[in-house]
Amino acid sequence: MLEIKNIHKSFGKNEILKGVDLKIDKGDVVVILGPSGSGKTTLLRCINFLERADQGTASFGELNVDLKTASKKDILAIRKKTAFVFQNYNLFNNKTALENVAEGLIIGRKIPKAEAYEISKKALDKVGLSEKYDSYPSQLSGGQQQRVGIARAVALNPDIILFDEPTSALDPELVGEVLQVMKDIAKEGTTMLVVTHEMGFAKDVANKVIFMDGGNIVEEGTPHEIFVTPKEERTQRFLRRVLPGEFDFDI
């Protein structure tokens, strides 16, 4: 469904992505793991043109796009197939939960307001916020705000949802409610590409796990292959650090 080839991205002299290839099939839940600065978020942002890649191509079904030279029409076509869930919610503080979800439908998709509101209500219901249509972000917890962000993505009915560390800004006690919503969406067959530090989610929900470091994909495989029988020494060291005492790899 989505195939990325040879993505390169630098900021000044700092090379963040060094030729990344990635293939995602319909219905996949792909989790990207890796240390800070490994290029995970930049990869997501290049896919959705929140950053312009220096090199690389993206194939989205029959749509083939050069990521460096893509036209506005190409970018719009890609964005219509994707939705992005941000680390820090990115909600409009002066709009209610319902208005935040409906905004992209009305402005971006040109859907009539009444229809957009009905779609938005169903999306908010799906993430457990049927009582919060008229609440402003300041009246919601961090977990609820992120669930509004997920509802906003779901309402767009995209081919794939990109999640950029969706729980990293949350207090620990609020992480579970957001992960549960993501699990529920995954069970419905939603295609997802998720950058996260939540190892439990990766093990339980993903069908493919990717480990990145230094702007490259070091290793990829099933959750069992990555968490139980990782082949690369760098992957093993990372898992020892983030899951101390849980594994004893032979290097």
Q: Tell me the sheet residues that pair with 7.
A: 20
Q: Which domain holds residue 146?
A: 2-242
Q: Per the domain annotation, does 251 fall within a domain?
A: no
Closest to 234 (Cα-Cα) out of 246, 226, 222: 226
In the chain, DSSP finds a helix count (H) and a strand count (E) of 9, 10
Q: Using the 8-state DSSP alphabet, how is residue 245 labeled?
A: T
Query: Is 130 inside a domain boundary?
Result: yes
Per-10-residue mean pLDDT of the chain, 251 residues long, equals 95 95 95 94 95 95 92 92 92 96 93 96 96 96 95 95 92 90 93 94 94 96 94 94 71 46
The predicted pLDDT at position 220 comes to: 96
Predicted confidence at residue 17, as pLDDT, reads 97
What is d(CA 235, CA 209) in angstroms, rounded to the nearest whole number?
11
pLDDT (0 to 100) of residue 161: 96
Kindly report the pTM of this predicted structure: 0.93
Specify the number of domains making up the chain.
Answer: 1
Q: What pLDDT, on a 0 to 100 scale, did the predictor assign at position 248? A: 58
Tokens of residue 239, six digits: 């898992």
Residue 164 forms part of a structural domain: yes
Residue pair 248/239 in contact by the 8 Å Cβ criterion: no
pLDDT, residue 132, reads 96
Can you point out the beta strands (E) in 68-227? Answer: 82-85, 160-164, 192-195, 208-213, 216-221
pLDDT, residue 249, reads 53
Which of 144, 188, 142, 195 is CA-nearest to residue 169? 142
Residue 1: per-residue pLDDT: 85
86 is a domain residue: yes
**pLDDT value for 247:** 61
Q: What CATH number is associated with residue 12?
A: 3.40.50.300
